[in-house]
Structure 1
């Protein structure tokens, strides 16, 4: 209960986003210009990641939102839309780094599993990549009716399989929305699990998360 309360308090008292001040750009490595697709959390949209994307772009990357409105889960429209968005960006820029928050991270993993040639790396932030339907602290049943045409078991298997591209899983033991252990990728030889502090809803502007994202985006993997 205390963790869930912390989530509500974090929503009521948002941070002033000090990490996104333009004066902090000099403390981070410059980007190489490759594309970064940022996928929002459940019931969130590109509005919640606009400061993060502007910050990443300011470092020298080409950061994009998903342009699909509010994340309502794996609807047919979303599954088609994220596929088309990745195809568009990879055709323009080459392999794309995927950054996903919460449910957005599940979509990032799905894209990396289905289109590895288009993906440079996948970074998930507090995303329950294992047993997603049973890893949240609030009931999912009221939402399942939104996705009647989707095979959730098959999607979960794709998301939970070791990704064919370099991966990073960021998790928090303070998470009051999802079970932190389900956000870790224990079975992947190409992935890393990194712990941060803070409630689930603060992740898009958590200074620890931002520093990790920038460091991960700066990694080199050879020709894209």
Structure 2
């Protein structure tokens, strides 16, 4: 991560267009029969983490979809996400340990925006407990001011976005924990280039059409998350959408974008 290299936040126009999230929810409802064709999982536990200023209510649809696919789904259970305040990291680690111990299985972690940064931290701290990480519109590139939410982050958490960007700069080793970053070029909150991860043997980027606030209700995102989690353990392969849904996933040269 090099937070000293300038990366602009999304244009104001895209921020104003974040109301598209409501339309994405409607489109997802219309595509429900298609989503029912998503691969079923093997019943392993999944921990879903919300974004900044959001709570488990924001991930209700995502968690319901994953539960329908057969997973043991857990919310983060800490109320509204006000950033990594004192005790937040420790509580998440303790929750991850409890879920893994109770199930006797590794846990997949899905994080939306700031929740994706938490997911990556959990994989760094507990690689033996985490099966894989899926991040939705998360600023993994580490540019603290390439987001329209950095002021809210500092106000809510009482912490410096610049200093936290350094602290959270560690990268998950994809040879240990597979990782997927799902993002949209029309994200109005986080600059899409800030969500790009280096492509590796078990590290990938999936691009979708849509807003930042609608990622958890976007049909293309839901299908991709379900597909990623359904892979047999130890047999990770890069995402290939079915022909029926290929138009929902624009192709972007992620290596060049990074």
TM-score, normalised to structure 2's length? 0.77
- CA distance in structure 2 between the aligned counterparts of 1:173 and 1:200, rounded to whole angstroms: 10
How do residues 171-182 of structure 1 correspond to structure 2 at under 5 angstroms? 171-182=183-194
Runs of 4+ in 1 over 6 A off after TM superposition: none
Matched residue count: 220
1:186 alignment partner, SS class: coil
- CA distance in structure 1 between the aligned counterparts of 2:156 and 2:70, rounded to whole angstroms: 41
1:143 alignment partner, SS class: helix
How do residues 36-55 of structure 1 correspond to structure 2 at under 5 angstroms? 36-55=46-65
Q: Which residue number in structure 2 is paired with residue 76 of structure 1?
A: 86
1:212 alignment partner, SS class: helix
The question of whether the paired residues in 1 share the 8 Å contact of 2:137 and 2:184 is answered with yes
- Give the unaligned 5+ runs of structure 1: none
Q: CA deviation at 1:35?
A: 0.5
Q: Which residue number in structure 2 is paired with residue 134 of structure 1?
A: 145
CA deviation vs aligned residue, 1:11-47 (integer Å, no higher than 9, x gap): 67673351685x5564122210000100001111100
- CA distance in structure 2 between the aligned counterparts of 1:57 and 1:19, rounded to whole angstroms: 19
Q: CA deviation at 1:55?
A: 1.7
Instruction: Please state which structure has a larger fraction of its residues in helix.
Output: 1
TM-score, normalised to structure 1's length? 0.88
Q: Which residue number in structure 2 is paired with residue 6 of structure 1?
A: 17
Greater displacement, 179-188 / 210-219: 179-188
The question of whether the paired residues in 1 share the 8 Å contact of 2:181 and 2:195 is answered with yes
CA deviation vs aligned residue, 1:140-185 (integer Å, no higher than 9, x gap): 3871673459962542222x45443011011110001011111011
Higher relative contact order (CA 8 A, sep 6+): 2
* Match 1:124 to one of 100, 118, 135: 135
The question of whether the paired residues in 1 share the 8 Å contact of 2:116 and 2:134 is answered with yes
- Give the unaligned 5+ runs of structure 2: 1-11, 236-258
Q: Which residue number in structure 2 is paired with residue 220 of structure 1?
A: 232
